[in-house]
Amino acid sequence: MTALRQAVREQAGPGLLLLLSTVLLLLAVGAGTGIGEMAIPIDTTFFAVTNRLGWSAVDLDPIHQSVIWDYRLSRSLVAACCGAGLALCGAILQSLLRNALAEPYVLGVSAGASTGAVGIIVLGLGAGSITISAGAFVGAFASFAFVALLSNGARGGAGKTILAGVAASQLFNALTSYIVSTSANAQQARDVMFWLLGSFGGVRWSEFQLILVVVIIGFCVCIYFARALDAFAFGDDAAASLGIPVRTVRIVLFGVTALMTATIVSMVGSIGFVGLVVPHAARFIVGPSHERLLPTCVVGGGIFMVLADIVSRVVLPQQVLPIGVVTALVGVPFFSVILYRTERAR
């Protein structure tokens, strides 16, 4: 592991690393498409994809065709995008806030999304014209706006932002509890819990298009500021002395991470752990430079989430585990190994 780290840091160019990890990501998506509850032969899986891409015209069972293309492939790709987006957000926030524990939900976005979703599920706000996802998105941004106002009013600073995020989370969690405890019935409370834990069950191709666009935009903005993020590691003053417009960069990057997180949370619920841990793992492999770190996070987060989704689908027969449960159960041992090895390497 240490040798690998040395080799990657010193010898492998960013190009080679990117190529290698992209191949790994494609393999993971391939596995996500091939593995599932229904036993589908591997050649059928292959032709189901090539058929829809127009590269082949093999006569297949329509149910197999549909499960592979409409269900598993779209789901794996959405999982990859969500993992990538969450890991990217985590890396950005850890750098901006100079806090190893920062993660995508530190801005209160997840709590706000929950309140929005619960408002739709339980109170029936919008009388069926607003989807749960739309409600969650509005809630996520309301919470982010609250954090932005609060931390700005308190004159910025990384510590203030984290505290504002904690306050927002507490406020919105309290609102959610209030709505659930005063209005929900048991079935609704169950729906809410299921929603909060996250699931890729409802996603299809239209979700993939949206999440792909959002994550690509997010990545482009973040990589554009990669060098500025490197400077943030030495503190705001140091960054300012290097000619970086600290305030502007911070506002833009907070905005982009809030957009990505809100989109992901409103689509698949709040999936923990990925945004916290993948950036640390990535830093361990490629070092702290953001030009390498951010692409590694994107690919690493994608691979991790696709694998976690496979586990969530196959571990219980005929049922799907909430993805958030799997990311933590799979992620913690994985992270423990990294922590342990990092200590030993020092």
Residue with tokens 């070092």: 287
* Under rule CB under 8 A, residue 126 binds other proteins: yes
Q: Which amino acid is at 98?
A: R
Which among 175, 179, 201, 197 has a CA at the least distance from the CA of 188? 179
Burial string for 46-73 (b: 16+ CB within 10 Å, else e) reads bbbbebeeeeeeeebeeebbebbbebbb
Question: What is the smallest separation between the CB atom of 78 and other proteins, expressed in angstroms?
Answer: 13
Which sign, positive or negative, has the C-alpha torsion 203, 105, 329, 322? negative
- Exactly one of 3, 54, 181, 333 binds other proteins (CB under 8 A); which one? 181
* Under rule CB under 8 A, residue 206 binds other proteins: no
By C-beta, is 268 or 285 nearer to other proteins?
Answer: 268
Which among 321, 303, 325 has a CA at the least distance from the CA of 80? 303
- Exactly one of 54, 57, 186, 243 binds other proteins (CB under 8 A); which one? 186
Question: What is the smallest separation between the CB atom of 272 and other proteins, expressed in angstroms?
Answer: 18
d(CA 64, CA 69): 9
Question: Which positions from 245 through 264 interact with other proteins, judged by CB under 8 A?
Answer: none
Chain centre distance of CA 292: 19
Residue with tokens 């960013």: 14
Question: What is the smallest separation between the CB atom of 207 and other proteins, expressed in angstroms?
Answer: 12
By C-beta, is 14 or 202 nearer to other proteins?
Answer: 202
Whether the CB-CB separation of 308 and 329 falls below 8 Å is answered with no
By C-beta, is 210 or 226 nearer to other proteins?
Answer: 210
Query: Looking at 26-34, 42-50, 171-179, 188-196, which segment touches other proteins (CB under 8 A)?
Result: 188-196
By C-beta, is 131 or 241 nearer to other proteins?
Answer: 131
Q: Where are the alpha helices (DSSP H) in 198-289?
A: 205-224, 226-232, 236-241, 246-268, 274-286
Which among 72, 7, 14 has a CA at the least distance from the CA of 298? 14
- Exactly one of 250, 290, 292, 313 binds other proteins (CB under 8 A); which one? 313
Question: What is the smallest separation between the CB atom of 227 and other proteins, expressed in angstroms?
Answer: 41
Question: What is the smallest separation between the CB atom of 41 and other proteins, expressed in angstroms?
Answer: 14
Size of site (CB under 8 A) for other proteins? 40
Query: Looking at 175-183, 245-253, 288-296, 297-305, which segment touches other proteins (CB under 8 A)?
Result: 175-183
Question: Which positions from 27 through 66 interact with other proteins, judged by CB under 8 A?
Answer: 36-38, 62-63, 66
**Tokens, residue 311:** 């586990």
Question: What is the smallest separation between the CB atom of 63 and other proteins, expressed in angstroms?
Answer: 5
* Under rule CB under 8 A, residue 188 binds other proteins: yes
Residue with tokens 């499960």: 67
* Under rule CB under 8 A, residue 311 binds other proteins: no
Which residues, other chains included, contact 14 with Cβ-Cβ below 8 Å and sequence gap of 6+?
Answer: 291, 292, 295
* Under rule CB under 8 A, residue 199 binds other proteins: yes
By C-beta, is 156 or 201 nearer to other proteins?
Answer: 201
Q: What is the DSSP string of 88-126?
A: HHHHHHHHHTT-TT--GGGGSHHHHHHHHHHHHHTT-GG
Q: Which stretches of the chain bind other proteins, using CB under 8 A? A: 36-38, 62-63, 66-67, 70-71, 120-129, 131-133, 181-183, 185-188, 191, 194, 199, 201-202, 204, 313, 317-320
